[in-house]
A and B are shown apart, each in its own frame.
Chain A
Amino acid sequence: MSLLLETRGVEVTFPIRGKGDWPWTPPRLLRAVAGVSLTLREGETLGVVGESGSGKSTLARAILGTIPPTGGKVIWQGRDITGLSGEARRAHAKDVQMVFQDPLAALNPRMTVGQIIAEPLRTHHPEISREEARARVQEIMAQVGLLPNLINRYPHEFSGGQCQRIGIARALILRPKLLICDEPVSALDVSVQAQVINLLKEIQGAFGLSIIFIAHDLSVVRHVSDRIAVMYLGRLVEVAAGKRLIAEPWHPYTKALIASIPVPDPAVERVRVKAALTGELPSPLAPPSGCVFRTRCPVARPSCAELVPETRSEGDRMVACPFAPEEIGQLDNAVTVRAGGI
């Protein structure tokens, strides 16, 4: 499979103005994404997990181009698309579409479903006639499991799951090559979550598109992803094939995440020792020195405060922790055992 997308050390920095600052006070810099290098092949699903505030959504928007990266490069099919603005970015937008977290908020309440789904078509193919656009909207509605005769309805007349289907239909109507799903199921009921995830998998099979699937919940991500990237405070801590990452996590943070997946068996769940992570995500305005995870890491050593951990690659696996898995395992045996129980 050929490479569709590559990010090379992508950084996104936001200037933060304190309340009551003078206009000439230099703003503080918030590094939401700090040097992320990823690859995405055609037809592949890449899961991105991490806590709230780990920079997942910002990374997605940097790839999409709605938030321009302040550093690094985004390479799309061998072409650098980092600096694209205006007309060039809008033309590129045809190939990358996005599905949003809040299904209702992502739909303009004053437009009918038909107008919403047809908007990308009207934007990029203004030559298409009204009747043909309507036919294509109805076709895509049927494909995502919506009754095509609801084309004149308004978003508030639909349930959350149906709204998400509308959002997916809008994202698919231009036949994009990459679909970025930003927590597409976090706002939905569990049963509806399953429907939407199955729909996404079906669509991927039929359209052959690549998906970047963002979630804060590993149990959802591992269902859909070929590979999983784990983010912490704007940095990648581990990237590996989905099954391997779940079965044998290396990074202590990944282990903690896997240990916190609830097990749907009360007997197991009762004896299981709960998540090893304590404390909160440090402020990205003042990240810890050295390894950013050391303040919460169960196996942190004094040396972690001094050296920024280099990323080690083994095959298609990448870990940002200087210790060998055996070393981490010895120090933190309990976590590994717990994780193995899933």
Chain B
Amino acid sequence: MALALGRKPIGLDIAPVAGRSLWQDARTRFLRNRAATASLVVLVLVGLFAAFGQFLAASPPDYVDFGLLGQVKEQGAPSLTNGHWFGLDEQARDLYARVVQGTRISLMVGIVGALVAVVVGTLYGATSGYVGGRVDNVMMRIVDILKSIPYMFVLILLLMVFGRSIFMLFLGIGMISWLDMARIARGQTLSLKNKEFVEAAVATGVKPLTIILRHIVPNLLGVVVVYATILVPEMIIYESFVSFLGLGVQEPNTSWGALISDGTGTMQYGTIWQLLFPLFFFVVTLFAFFFVGDGLRDALDPKDR
């Protein structure tokens, strides 16, 4: 295929140099943001706590220490000597083990909710925006209708009718979490699909689904990731609220909302640690998520470059 282009192809034998992708640039910018990096470390620690914390517990979360039942106020305060680091709860169970379990469930709820939003919401919104026209109209009106149903009411109804279970909680939260994401993804897609690189792909003859997956979605991800980090704490708050009302997770399972609810119920009995420990994890994690979201937004903002 030698072509008489008047110029000898040079450099064919030089090894390729690596390029710096926009993601790598963003990572550098993110790591330069101290608050965001510190928050990320905090999140990793909370994650490790949720994953491996149970190995340090004095007893399983559902083990009732009958010897101390009834004298939690006097004997159950946090102590290093008896291994109940966080003290005991009202039923004389190890609060440390309970918090580990609550953290695990709350994080799971947050991450599953955000994951459903990212996958379903992004694809739904990108498809709706890219196809456009009547399809877009119908798809977005469906979102509007779902959005106009009071989600808390539906979630509570769902938990009442089908029984309180983690699965129902995930289902209910997953059902509402993707709606806003779909709208955001659609808005971004509308501006992306008029870019020339999308037109170039259309002109080349790339199939619509491939264009959405190869050209639209990767360029949406910046916005999606930022929104997802805000969505995780939002989902945790939803779940905590439902659990606080006594409708969320079922005993012996627990979550931050349920633990905080228990803690507030007993705070006038002088066992304030039952409120403070779960509250501390709750607040610290939410703050960390918000800082990481902020850092990601700054790092991924294309206007910054």
Nearest opposing residue in chain A for B6, CB measure = A202
Instruction: Indicate if the CB atoms of B11 and A149 lie closer than 8 Å.
Output: yes
Determine how close the nearest CB of chain B comes to the CB of A122; give it in whole angstroms. Answer: 9
Instruction: Indicate if the CB atoms of B19 and A91 lie closer than 8 Å.
Output: no
A91-123 interface with B by 8 A CB criterion: 91-94, 96-98, 100-102, 105-113, 119-120, 123
Determine how close the nearest CB of chain B comes to the CB of A172; give it in whole angstroms. Answer: 10
Task: Give bound CA distance, A108 to B201, whole Å.
Answer: 10
Task: Give bound CA distance, A206 to B149, whole Å.
Answer: 64
Instruction: Indicate if the CB atoms of A152 and B219 lie closer than 8 Å.
Output: no
Q: Taking the complex as formed, is A335 at the interface, i.e. its CB lies under 8 A from any CB of chain B?
A: no
Instruction: Indicate if the CB atoms of B219 and A110 lie closer than 8 Å.
Output: yes
Partner of B3, one of A94, A119, A138, A143: A143
Instruction: Indicate if the CB atoms of B207 and A90 lie closer than 8 Å.
Output: yes
Instruction: Indicate if the CB atoms of A156 and B22 lie closer than 8 Å.
Output: yes
Given contact pairs A106-B196, A112-B19, A152-B17, A91 touches B205 in the complex (Cβ within 8 A): yes
Given contact pairs A102-B196, A150-B16, A66 touches B11 in the complex (Cβ within 8 A): no
Instruction: Indicate if the CB atoms of A206 and B3 lie closer than 8 Å.
Output: yes
Q: Provide the residues of chain B in CB contact with A110, threshold 8 Å.
A: 21-22, 218-219
Instruction: Indicate if the CB atoms of B206 and A89 lie closer than 8 Å.
Output: no
Instruction: Indicate if the CB atoms of A123 and B17 lie closer than 8 Å.
Output: no
Chain A, interface size category, equals 35 or more
Q: Provide the residues of chain B in CB contact with A202, threshold 8 Å.
A: 5-6
Q: Taking the complex as formed, is B268 at the interface, i.e. its CB lies under 8 A from any CB of chain A?
A: no
Q: Taking the complex as formed, is B62 at the interface, i.e. its CB lies under 8 A from any CB of chain A?
A: no
Partner of B203, one of A66, A101, A109, A112: A66
Instruction: Indicate if the CB atoms of B200 and A138 lie closer than 8 Å.
Output: no
Task: Give bound CA distance, A292 to B18, whole Å.
Answer: 55
Instruction: Indicate if the CB atoms of A150 and B204 lie closer than 8 Å.
Output: no
Instruction: Indicate if the CB atoms of A97 and B15 lie closer than 8 Å.
Output: no
Partner of B10, one of A142, A151, A203, A206: A142
Q: Taking the complex as formed, is A148 at the interface, i.e. its CB lies under 8 A from any CB of chain B?
A: yes
B87-110 interface with A by 8 A CB criterion: none
Q: Taking the complex as formed, is B215 at the interface, i.e. its CB lies under 8 A from any CB of chain A?
A: yes
Q: Taking the complex as formed, is A170 at the interface, i.e. its CB lies under 8 A from any CB of chain B?
A: yes
Chain B, interface size category, equals 35 or more
Q: Taking the complex as formed, is A207 at the interface, i.e. its CB lies under 8 A from any CB of chain B?
A: yes
Determine how close the nearest CB of chain A comes to the CB of B253; give it in whole angstroms. Answer: 41
B1-25 interface with A by 8 A CB criterion: 1, 3-7, 9-12, 14-22
Task: Give bound CA distance, A337 to B200, whole Å.
Answer: 43
Q: Provide the residues of chain B in CB contact with A123, threshold 8 Å.
A: 204-207, 210
Given contact pairs A106-B197, A108-B219, A119-B201, A149 touches B4 in the complex (Cβ within 8 A): no
Q: Taking the complex as formed, is B202 at the interface, i.e. its CB lies under 8 A from any CB of chain A?
A: yes
Given contact pairs A94-B205, A109-B219, A154-B21, A101 touches B196 in the complex (Cβ within 8 A): yes
- Mask, B212-255, CB within 8 Å of A = 1, is 00110011000000000000000000000000000000000000
Q: Provide the residues of chain A in CB contact with B18, threshold 8 Å.
A: 152
- Mask, B158-186, CB within 8 Å of A = 1, is 00000000000000000000000000000
Determine how close the nearest CB of chain B comes to the CB of A246; give it in whole angstroms. Answer: 27
Nearest opposing residue in chain B for A174, CB measure = B204
Determine how close the nearest CB of chain A comes to the CB of B64; give it in whole angstroms. Answer: 55
Task: Give bound CA distance, A123 to B202, whole Å.
Answer: 11
Task: Give bound CA distance, A113 to B195, whole Å.
Answer: 17
Q: Taking the complex as formed, is B199 at the interface, i.e. its CB lies under 8 A from any CB of chain A?
A: yes
Instruction: Indicate if the CB atoms of B203 and A97 lie closer than 8 Å.
Output: yes
Q: Provide the residues of chain B in CB contact with A153, threshold 8 Å.
A: 17, 19-20
Determine how close the nearest CB of chain B comes to the CB of A63; give it in whole angstroms. Answer: 11
Q: Taking the complex as formed, is A230 at the interface, i.e. its CB lies under 8 A from any CB of chain B?
A: no
A129-161 interface with B by 8 A CB criterion: 138-139, 142-143, 145, 147-154, 156-157
Given contact pairs A139-B9, A153-B19, A93 touches B196 in the complex (Cβ within 8 A): no
Partner of A66, one of B14, B199, B207, B210: B199
Instruction: Indicate if the CB atoms of A149 and B16 lie closer than 8 Å.
Output: yes
Instruction: Indicate if the CB atoms of B14 and A147 lie closer than 8 Å.
Output: yes
Task: Give bound CA distance, A203 to B199, whole Å.
Answer: 23
Partner of A207, one of B3, B6, B9, B19: B3
Task: Give bound CA distance, A177 to B3, whole Å.
Answer: 16
Nearest opposing residue in chain B for A115, CB measure = B214
Determine how close the nearest CB of chain B comes to the CB of A145; give it in whole angstroms. Answer: 7
Partner of B5, one of A113, A148, A203: A203
Q: Provide the residues of chain A in CB contact with B19, threshold 8 Å.
A: 112-113, 150, 152-154, 157
Q: Taking the complex as formed, is A5 at the interface, i.e. its CB lies under 8 A from any CB of chain B?
A: no
Instruction: Indicate if the CB atoms of B196 and A143 lie closer than 8 Å.
Output: no
Nearest opposing residue in chain B for A120, CB measure = B204
Instruction: Indicate if the CB atoms of A108 and B197 lie closer than 8 Å.
Output: yes
Q: Provide the residues of chain A in CB contact with B196, threshold 8 Å.
A: 100-102, 105-106
Instruction: Indicate if the CB atoms of B9 and A108 lie closer than 8 Å.
Output: no
Given contact pairs A154-B22, A156-B22, A147 touches B206 in the complex (Cβ within 8 A): no
Task: Give bound CA distance, A94 to B4, whole Å.
Answer: 23
3 closest A-B pairs (Cβ-Cβ)? Answer: A142-B9, A93-B205, A90-B205
Q: Which residues of B contact A (CB under 8 A)?
A: 1, 3-7, 9-12, 14-22, 195-197, 199-207, 210, 214-215, 218-219, 305
Q: Which residues of A contact B (CB under 8 A)?
A: 64-66, 89-94, 96-98, 100-102, 105-113, 119-120, 123-124, 138-139, 142-143, 145, 147-154, 156-157, 167, 170, 202-203, 205-207
Q: List 7 A-B contacts (CB under 8 A).
A: A66-B202, A109-B22, A110-B21, A110-B22, A119-B201, A142-B11, A203-B5
Given contacts A157-B19, A170-B200, 17 further A-B contacts (CB under 8 A): A65-B203, A93-B203, A93-B204, A96-B203, A98-B199, A100-B200, A101-B196, A106-B200, A108-B219, A139-B12, A143-B7, A145-B7, A149-B16, A150-B19, A153-B20, A157-B20, A206-B5
